[in-house]
Amino acid sequence: MKVKSPLEVYKFLPQTNCGECGFDTCMSFAAQIIDRSVKPTDCPPLVENAKKDKKFEKKLNELISLTSPEILEVEIGVGDNAIKIGGEDVLHRHELTFFNPTAFFFDVYDTMDEEQIHERCSKVVEYRKFYVGDFITLEGIAVRCTSNDPEKFRSVVKKVSEYGKPMVLISMNPECMRAALEEVADQKPLIYAATEKNWKEFLQLALEFKVPVTVRSKDLTILKSLAKTFRENGVRDIVLDPVTEPIGDGLRGTFERVIQLRRTAILGEDKDVAYPIMITPISAWLIEGDEITKGYWETVLASTFIVKYADVMIFKNLEQYTVMPSVILRYNIYTDPRTPVQVEPGLREINNPSPDDPVFVTTNFALTYYTVESDLTSGNIKCWLLVLDTEGLGVEVSVAGGQFTAAKVKDLIKETGIEKKVNHRYLTIPGLAARLQGAIEDETGWTVLVGPMDSGRIKGWLEQQWPPEKKE
Amino acid sequence: MARKFTIEEFFETLKKYNVEELEGVRIEGDLEIEIEPGSGIDANLINAVAMLSNYMQLIQEFGNFLYHANMALSYLQRLSSALGIQMPLVVQPQVQPAVEVKPEKIPEFKIPEKLISAKFEPYKVEYPGKIEEVTLGATRADGGTRETTVTIGGEKSLAFYTFDAMNEYMPAIAIDVFDRKPMLAKAVREHYQDVLEDPAEWAKKAVKEFNADLVTIHLISTDPMLEDTPASEAVKVIEDILQAVKVPLIIGGSGNKEKDPEVLEKAAEVTEGERVMLASATLDMDWERIGNAAKNHGHVILSWTQMDINNQKTLNRYLLKRVGIDRNSLVMDPTTAALGYGLDYAYTNMERIRISGLKGDTDLNFPMSSGTTNAWGAREAWMIDSPIEGDTPWGPRELRGPIWEIVTGMTLALAGVDLFMMMHPGAVAVLKEWMGMLQGIVKESIENVDDWITMEV
Ligand code: SF4
């Protein structure tokens, strides 16, 4: 966005501090706009005024354009399943955050066996990967026209649309594309792709059916010309495909094109290329080798461009060993670095513990927590894990800094009701918090055991220490 | 240059996995019998059989029999339902030529005759700073016994932004060797099974078979919690490795704060002249003693901090100013977290460090090293399947593990890492191949890059 400080936004606001937006002051609302957590239209008086008065309308529109993202945000699909791509503002995630995670589309083609189409579509629909307390899912399905037969393409696209996922329609033949759009244009698929050869027909299609369109060229001047032509003729939703070359110098070239496009859009303020970028890891299936090699390489391509600026991708491989690393990498790169790196404090039940099983306490620093949690889970250790709110700090630091205290442990024991869930009073604290042993015992009345320095050693430690010898 | 090791070759080497347990599900023969050549076979069926045989190949290449057997069985079920579909005598409908559109209802839009021409002018970026060049290893001419040396750093642009400035050195890869049997994921252990007891042989294998540019020997047996091997005893293995391989060495301790300074000091003494890298000095250890050991014996020091750019600055400054380490003898390890387990922090921390260095921060313009082997700590890399109910099954773990290491390494390569410490030979091969391409060394491309659009695969 063009403005950098809340003050610049404040000028455009009513400055009445009415609080209708949910913030106490216009200034704090302005700060939220800079963070992109709210939009100008979230201020009701501003919208009301604009409706009544042309002058205010102009002001609002000016603010909207000043605060809109550098890269155009494009929506594919409709309803609950619709996804947004693009909308980015920065080149490096620490400068703010990346916003809309790369959307993943998995392909089917119209000469594919019906059974197989069904199987692949179902896999996309049903995909679930548990991560950081949530299930990651896949966005959509790309349908390729391999028959070059409009009627065939039409019928297969129609079938696929019944799965309710956003779609990318792939055919260079405008007649085939038209047939498909006649069926599913109302679902707002992304069409792929307008090139130097077919752009007139595709421009007609994009205007007629009001769907987002991909423009495709290896030559960035042609790509920019395509985008500009489409834009100036009334197409708003454009996606740029600089052509993915899977290996060798071609890959190096692809890398260069993607970075030049995004950098020139953001730093060079070239609005004609400020659109979402398409990358096609499926191109890996053109290389020599067996399925595993191709699947691996597809992930290599995906990873390269998840890190570097791709907003939408087309994949072939639906095997978990390649899908999983891609969805996790995407999650990591698009995690907002501004939010503190912590997890929800409270009680976690690991491996269905019984009242006899041990109780551990750890911090809510995400890294510590996930390490401990994964060590316990994977070690098949049945236990209760108390997660202490240390304000997102690790054990060592929070013990030293006073965020990990006996009093807080006592409160946590009370809040979680752990006393009713276990039939013993033994609490194991991290080895790095050993110095709090006495204090926690005094505060809680529990017997405190000092665990190992590293949660990776809990398993061995338990063999020695659990169940503890009763002190009568 | 060493022999090029392609992914395919790597997968070739994996073919020696045991597959006996699969005998029960090897039925390609049967299937073939069912099909009578020339009897109007459904294309679907041929497809399905072809896919099955591909799948069998996959099964034969990778172990973990039980798991695969299950997958193969469910695959067979799906296949039989495909077989259940009537085999039509008629072949699929012929592909029809594109039909002409009925021009009736098409709304009128003004379509221009020509593209609006708009020249793309790439935005240029130049940085004032340059990352220091650090050379590891010393040949006879320089007082050592290495046959090769490795130089890292020297960047004037972000990683692989060759269009901003050509960076002379490609990142290097070291393979980890341990002085006692460590805990290793099965998929890694399999490749080192025969050398786990013999660090010198291990190092040899890493270099000869797996193409390591350097070898890292971790003296973990010195850990007081393990064997507590005395420093003078532990360093003997270094001499064996110096004999066994002729690439530069990195020497690591056990991570024990009290013991490491003594161990690394001893290691620095016995490798005088070899220009090894001592791994590592940290803020909570006697960094001064480790730093001095590096300085006094002409080695490189690895400055290791825990994902904190300010601590990295502080430790670097201590080593440079207080110890007096040369600027060409310092490498940083800002800490590597695995994909899914903090990779985002590791990535951003390194990216920020690199950008600061390029912008001219002389406390941070040093090459970076990554303990990429950490990727194997992620449960997705080694666990047999998801412990979470409702998760889509994870698939064969011998395929997940290497890719976890690859993706972790790639991500950090893009953040600016110059030196990787890795373990899985397949991951090493893929990362090298990919870096070679981005660096412009591996050139061979594909001509028809549009073919995926219409391929029937
Ligand atoms: S609703 Fe608008 S006018 Fe009211 S406090 Fe919020 S920003 Fe200010």
The CATH code of the domain that includes A125 is 3.20.20.20
Q: Which helix or strand (DSSP H or E) is residue A407 part of?
A: helix A406-416
Atom of ligand 1 minimally distant from the CA of A29 = 7
Spell out the per-residue pLDDT of chain B, length 457, in tens.
333 334 444 344 334 333 222 222 232 332 232 333 343 434 444 444 344 444 444 433 333 322 333 333 333 334 334 443 332 333 334 445 555 545 556 667 889 999 999 999 999 999 999 999 999 999 999 999 999 999 999 999 999 999 999 999 999 999 999 999 998 999 999 999 999 999 999 999 999 999 999 999 999 999 998 899 999 999 999 999 999 999 999 999 998 889 999 999 999 999 999 999 999 999 989 999 999 999 999 999 999 998 889 999 999 999 999 999 999 999 999 999 899 888 998 999 999 999 999 999 999 999 999 999 999 988 889 888 877 777 899 999 999 999 999 999 999 999 999 999 999 999 999 999 999 999 999 999 999 999 999 999 9
d(Cα A266, Cα B15) in Å, to the nearest integer? 48
Q: Is B112 within the bounds of a domain?
A: no
Q: Is A1 within the bounds of a domain?
A: no
* Cβ distance of B449 and A126 shorter than 8 Å: no
Q: Is A141 within the bounds of a domain?
A: yes
Q: Is B297 within the bounds of a domain?
A: yes
Which residue range(s) make up the domain with A45?
Answer: 6-67
- DSSP-assigned states of every residue in B249-293: EEEE--S-TTTHHHHHHHHHHHTTTS--EEEEE-TTS-HHHHHHH
Residues A262 and A194 in one domain: yes
**Six token digits for residue B173:** 């890869």
Q: Is B15 within the bounds of a domain?
A: no
Q: Output the CA torsion sign for A305, A311, A317, A323.
A: positive
**Six token digits for residue B320:** 């440079």
User: Would the ipTM clear 0.95, i.e. be above it?
Assistant: no
Q: Is A472 within the bounds of a domain?
A: no
Residue minimizing CA distance to atom 6 of ligand 1: A21
Residues A77 and A58 in one domain: no
Q: Is B51 within the bounds of a domain?
A: no
pLDDT tens, residue by residue, A138-192: 999 999 999 999 999 999 999 999 999 999 999 999 999 999 999 999 999 999 9
Residues A262 and A365 in one domain: no
Residues A167 and A201 in one domain: yes
Computed on alpha carbons and rounded to an integer, the radius of gyration of chain A in Å comes to: 27
Residues A190 and A308 in one domain: yes
Can you tell me whether residue B143 is helix, strand or coil? coil
Which residue range(s) make up the domain with B421?
Answer: 134-450
The CATH code of the domain that includes B355 is 3.20.20.20
- Which of 32-91 (B) contact A at CB < 8 A? 43-44, 47-48, 54, 57-58, 61-62, 78, 81-82, 85
* Cβ distance of A150 and B98 shorter than 8 Å: yes
- The number of distinct structural domains making up chain B is 1
Q: How far is the CA of A4 from the centre of ligand 1 (A)?
A: 19
Q: Is B310 within the bounds of a domain?
A: yes
The CATH code of the domain that includes A14 is 1.10.15.40
d(Cα B345, Cα A86) in Å, to the nearest integer? 23
Task: Name the domain boundary from A50, A67, A84.
Answer: A67
Atom of ligand 1 minimally distant from the CA of A18 = 4
Q: Which amino acid is at A402?
A: G
* Cβ distance of B340 and A151 shorter than 8 Å: no
Residues A39 and A174 in one domain: no
Task: Name the domain boundary from A304, A334, A364.
Answer: A334
CB contact at 8 A, B257 and B199: no
Residue in B closest to A316 by C-alpha: B457
Residues A186 and A308 in one domain: yes
Residue in B closest to A108 by C-alpha: B457
Q: Is A470 within the bounds of a domain?
A: no
Residues B229/B231/B234/B238 CA torsion (nearest 10 deg): 170
* Cβ distance of A248 and B446 shorter than 8 Å: yes
Residues A431 and A372 in one domain: yes
Residue minimizing CA distance to atom 7 of ligand 1: A26
Residues A381 and A318 in one domain: no
- The number of distinct structural domains making up chain A is 3
Q: Is B209 within the bounds of a domain?
A: yes
What lines the ligand 1 site, CB under 6 Å? A 13-14, 16-21, 23, 26, 29, 43-46
Q: Is B455 within the bounds of a domain?
A: no
Q: In 3D, which of A167, A130, A36 has the Cα closest to residue A331?
A: A130
* Cβ distance of B115 and A126 shorter than 8 Å: no
Residues A63 and A77 in one domain: no
Q: Is A341 within the bounds of a domain?
A: no
Residues A299 and A385 in one domain: no
Minimal C-alpha gap between A354 and chain B (Å)? 18
Q: Is A471 within the bounds of a domain?
A: no
On whether the pTM is more than 0.80, the answer is: yes
Task: Name the domain boundary from A284, A300, A334.
Answer: A334
Burial B129-156 (b: 16+ CB within 10 A, else e): bbbbbbbbbbeeeeebebeebbbbbbbb
Q: Is A388 within the bounds of a domain?
A: yes
Q: Is B21 within the bounds of a domain?
A: no
Residues A93 and A63 in one domain: no
Q: What is the pLDDT of residue A394?
A: 78
